[in-house]
Amino acid sequence: MIDAATRYAREQSAEGVWLTVWEDAPWAVNCYRKYGFEQVGTMDFKLGQAIYNDLVMWRPVTAQRSELRSPS
């Protein structure tokens, strides 16, 4: 899915792909890092009455999969 989203963004002449991920999900954060995403900020995410802190991550679409760390 990440490859498809990146490919679509590249076809649309986007510079990169953004996503948010819950900061207390290190397995997800590490997965995205392996795909070349870097943390560029944080934002609040409200779910019911609770407010969670999400990491904002970005990855340029110019990076080729072969240039990134393997998602092992």
CA dist., res. 62 & res. 21, Å (int):
22
User: 39: closest CA among 29, 28, 31?
Assistant: 29
Entry pTM: 0.77
Q: Is residue 69 part of a domain?
A: no
Residue 67 lies in a domain: no
Q: Tell me whether residue 40 is in a domain.
A: yes
**Residue 19 confidence class, pLDDT cut points 50, 70, 90:** very high
Tokens of 14: 């986007």
Q: State the Cα angle at 24 between 22 and 29, rounded to 5°.
A: 65
pLDDT tens for 30-72 read: 999 999 999 999 999 999 999 999 999 999 988 655 555 554 5
CATH number, domain of 38, equals 3.40.630.30
Count of the separate structural domains present in the chain: 1
The residues with which 14 forms a beta bridge, in sequence order, are none
Predicted local distance difference test score (pLDDT) of residue 16: 92
What are the distances in angstroms from CA 7 to CA 61, 63, 66? 7, 11, 14
Question: What integer pLDDT is reported at residue 3 of this predicted model?
Answer: 85
Query: Is 52 among the domain residues?
Result: yes
Report whether pLDDT(8) > 80. Answer: yes
